[in-house]
Amino acid sequence: MFRLPQYSPPDFSDPRFAQAPLVTFREVRKAGVAPEGYHATSVFPEYFHVAPGRWEILRESRMDCVVVQRPDGRLDVVEFRRLQPGDRVAVGRRENAEEGIFVHAEAFQGMSGTGDKFAFRTRLTRETSFSIDYDEFYDLLVHERNHGTIVWVLGPAVVFDQDARSAFSSLIRRGYVHALLAGNALATHDLEGALFGTALGQEIYSKRSAPLGHYHHLDAINRLRELGSIEEAMQRGVVTDGVMHAAVTQGIPVVLAGSIRDDGPLPGVIADVYEAQDRMRDQVRRATTVVALATQLHAIATGNMAPSYRVLDDGTVRPVYFYSVDMSEFAVQKLANRGSLTARSILTNVQDFMVTVERGLRRRETNEEIA
């Protein structure tokens, strides 16, 4: 049975905390520019000495941002571009309490999820064994379905394959997907599948080239632009299956971020990448597990805005899991290298991953029902 690793808060009775100064704040003078000496956040839990003896933890943190103390005292983790003149930004680059800031890097115990202390320290390669990772992933997803928030980040490869597309749609319908972050390509190829049964002009299962199939992705985009939205396309019965259909049907928030590679774009794709970051982070703020599949751009973007922990409403601190799945050692290592035990990577084709996970979860569910 799955158990979350326990959070070990810092021991604030330690003299280094008692003797620490309060954290200093400096005002922003120019919009979007942090004051000198600003403190930049990490993925780890961070505590700020805001009043004598009172160390406050950051909520909804993320990497490489600054900390603003709002007039009501609340600490906000803010991107540089969102700084406004007058904002009070925490300064200090020592992380050991000496400047009133403490970065708590070793916060969780038994991080493996099986109660053990071993860490994934060996270099990850295509020859690494992944059986346990799959099993732990199933346990985690089953737990998170009811007690957490699972955010998926998807590259287009997932919808190029019929079985993978069906498997992910099924995961959505069965409650394992609480938000979906992707780009124009994922949605386009999924909708091409819904409209024409093809992906980039090839029949999605048989791979036969359809006549004039190279027009299909443009036709799909054009049709959707004409209809105005995916919801409209569904209401008119134009789109009746696939990932986007399942997401809309289930009321899952979908954030489609634009990129310079886009054709179209589809209606709903966010043209301004920093607005897209904000919308993505809105979803990541409440995430307890993030799963990024076959997309270097979106995976790294999401990794940058995902902390390794989340403070629940009742004040409990729990880990945020971050899975990346990709064929490329290069892509996966960029993410594995976050310095956090909550980051896991599986090197494989995401089509197989998706199909395997769908079956694994189905088996797990059946066992639960029987038990």
371 binds a copy of itself (CB under 8 A): no
Q: Would you say 148 or 165 has its CB closer to a copy of itself?
A: 165
Q: Would you say 105 or 311 has its CB closer to a copy of itself?
A: 105
Contacts of 15 (CB under 8 A, 6+ apart): none
# chain residues binding a copy of itself, by CB under 8 A = 89
Element (H, E) at 317: strand 317-319
22 binds a copy of itself (CB under 8 A): no
| Shortest spacing between CB 213 and a copy of itself, in angstroms | 11
206 binds a copy of itself (CB under 8 A): yes
Determine the residue type at 339. G
Contact 151, 283 (CB under 8 A): yes
| Shortest spacing between CB 108 and a copy of itself, in angstroms | 18
Candidates 4, 20, 23, 34; binder of a copy of itself (CB under 8 A) is 34
32 binds a copy of itself (CB under 8 A): yes
Candidates 12, 88, 327, 365; binder of a copy of itself (CB under 8 A) is 327
The interface with a copy of itself within residues 2-21 (CB under 8 A) comprises: none
The interface with a copy of itself within residues 39-78 (CB under 8 A) comprises: 40, 64
> How far is Cα 92 from Cα 340, in angstroms, rounded to an integer?
22
| Shortest spacing between CB 296 and a copy of itself, in angstroms | 8
Candidates 62, 285, 298, 310; binder of a copy of itself (CB under 8 A) is 298
| Shortest spacing between CB 124 and a copy of itself, in angstroms | 9
Determine the residue type at 194. A
3-state secondary structure of 33: coil
Q: First vs last Cα of the chain: how many Å apart?
A: 12
Q: What is the dihedral of CA 129, 134, 139, 145, to 10 degrees?
A: 150
Structure tokens at 341: 């035990």
Q: Would you say 148 or 189 has its CB closer to a copy of itself?
A: 189
| Shortest spacing between CB 186 and a copy of itself, in angstroms | 12
98 binds a copy of itself (CB under 8 A): no
Burial status of residue 238 (CB atoms within 10 A of its CB: 0-12, 13-18, 19 or more): middle
3-state secondary structure of 7: strand
> How far is Cα 183 from Cα 295, in angstroms, rounded to an integer?
10
Candidates 24, 170, 250, 348; binder of a copy of itself (CB under 8 A) is 348
* HSE of 176, CA atoms in CB hemisphere, 13 A: 23
> How far is Cα 5 from Cα 112, in angstroms, rounded to an integer?
8
The interface with a copy of itself within residues 117-176 (CB under 8 A) comprises: 118, 120, 122-123, 125-132, 134, 156-157, 160-164
